[in-house]
Amino acid sequence: MGSIDSAYRLARERYSELAVDVDSTLGVLLDTPISIHCWQGDDVTGFENIEKGVSGGGIQATGNYPGKARDIGELREDLEQVQRFVPGRHRISLHAMYGDFGDEVVDRNGIEFRHFESWVEWAKENNVGLDFNATMFGHRNADSGFTLSSKDPDVREFWVEHVKRCRGICAEIGKRMGTPCVHNLWVPDGMKDTTVDQSGYRELLKESLDEIYSVEYSPDHLLDSVESKLFGLGSESFVVGSHDFYLGYAVSRGLMPCLDTGHYHPMESVADKISAIMPFVSRIMLHVSRGVRWDSDHVVVLNDEAKDLFHEIVRGGYLNRVHIGLDYFDASINRVGAWVTGIRATQKALLYALLEPVEQLKGYETEGDYFERMALLEELKSMPWGAIWDNYCDKNSVPNGIELREKVKEYENKTHTTRS
């Protein structure tokens, strides 16, 4: 019996004393996919052959670490490698600018499913699901800082058509893949300084959204989410699609609100929002990120914020109603390593939450025995959950610890050093 298996058996015994079924917990973890963002691999560049706008919509990847994926083949190669370093089967989240365009010049209001058909074939071959995002930034028609809420009707029409096409592509992906494809919509619309006509911009955004979502698709193929933001570069004073705006829109239109953990004030608890929103919506989309003082999109790590987020999801019994996605990008470190670290940190946070004896804790709380609640919560912090994780990786033939770091560096030396 190896050391990993021995440690696992001892850990399982410890948790069984708390009436936690470790084996069933690992089954839940294995069956919970994470939507992995493709844009970590190339610093949010994409493969379009069109003139980029001067504005990135407040999106900027910092750093210039060697090995950036330069084309669709290299990006897929990196994503395949990421899958080998992460236990479980997951999903890949695409942005519209990552189509298989080849040498074709296709503006965003002209994209079609055929530009993403090879992604569907690749996903089937690699046993992963697909999700989709309209790309509303880094384009000449976004240079004013406004897209769907622009006061220029031609600009609004351009972006409405783009999102309509994205939803159609997304629905076809879901149909071909046999699993619903989530289409998430975030727009960078906002203003740098004091804005007088806030209501006017929000009315225009509402009108654009109503036109977009007037086209109905089967929920077996397409699920829609809308994403808010507190502020961004160039929208420090006013964001059209604020949290309040999109929460109201999502609840009234039967859509999913998307909660990005970097899109709120640093002192706000995104975990607390879960149980506040869930009574009014059927599902939510989650973008797990790590903001350092602002929406900096740092690589996700296993910190208190990540633990709190998944504690709230598990304690509330919401796991089957939450779509877990990632949204971060760091160009200052090995990009495959950044992907893998963030995905595994998210999985660890979920495992940590699943290993909690929730009903026992709720019982203490209901009875008013707050000492027992506090004592057990403290005891759980030093429980051997790491041994459970090590065994989970081992059983799924995924490297861990020193071996993982060596494998990442080995892939870097083999592949990334040849990319200039």
User: Is 154 annotated in the active site?
Assistant: no
pLDDT at 420 (0 to 100): 67
Which DSSP symbol is given to 240?
Answer: S
Say what the pLDDT of residue 165 is.
Answer: 98
**68, 139, 263, 273: which is the annotated catalytic residue?**
263
What integer pLDDT is reported at residue 51 of this predicted model? 79
71 has catalytic annotation: no
Give residues with Cβ within 8 angstroms of 150, minimum separation 6.
144, 156, 159, 189, 204
Task: Tell me, yes or no, if 381 is annotated catalytic.
Answer: no
The pLDDT mean for the chain works out to: 95
> Which residue from 209, 134, 126 is spatially nearest to 170, judged by alpha carbons?
134
For residue 211, the number of C-alpha atoms closer than 13 Å in the C-beta half-sphere is 17
Q: Kindly write down the DSSP assignment for every residue of 336-351, as one continuous string.
A: HHHHHHHHHHHHHHHH
d(CA 251, CA 255): 7
Q: Is 287 a catalytic residue?
A: yes
Residue type, 393: C
The reply to whether 100 belongs to the active site is no
Q: In the block, which residue shows the tokens 């149980």? A: 275
What per-residue confidence (pLDDT) applies to 234?
85
pLDDT at residue 410, as a whole number: 95
Q: How far apart are CA 220 and CA 182, in angstroms?
A: 10
359 is catalytic: no
Supply 309's token pair.
């987020």
Name the CATH superfamily, with its identifier, for domain 34-339. Divalent-metal-dependent TIM barrel enzymes (3.20.20.150)
Q: Spot the catalytic one: 189, 260, 305, 356.
A: 260
User: 287, 311, 323, 407: which is the annotated catalytic residue?
Assistant: 287
Residue 103 a catalytic site member? no
To the query of whether residue 224 is one of the catalytic residues in this protein, the response is: no
197 belongs to the catalytic site: no
Q: State the DSSP string of 114-162.
A: GGTHHHHHHHHHTT-EEEEE---SSSGGGTTS-STT-SSHHHHHHHHHH
Say how far apart CA 20 and CA 181 lie, in whole Å: 33
Give residue limits of the domains in the chain: 34-339
CA distance 147 to 161: 11
pLDDT of residue 59: 62
What Cα–Cα distance (Å) separates residue 353 from each residue in 220, 299, 313, 317?
29, 20, 8, 11
Rg (CA), the chain: 22
Identify the residue whose tokens are 């910190």. 303
CA 169/CA 119 separation, integer angstroms: 12
* pLDDT of res. 418: 82
pLDDT along the chain (420 residues), means of 10: 90 97 97 98 93 61 88 97 97 98 96 98 98 96 96 98 98 98 97 96 98 98 96 89 97 98 90 97 97 88 97 98 96 95 98 98 98 98 98 97 96 84
Exactly one of 327, 330, 390, 412 is catalytic; name it: 327
Q: Say what the pLDDT of residue 231 is.
A: 84
Considering the candidates 229, 273, 323, 416, report the single residue annotated as catalytic.
229
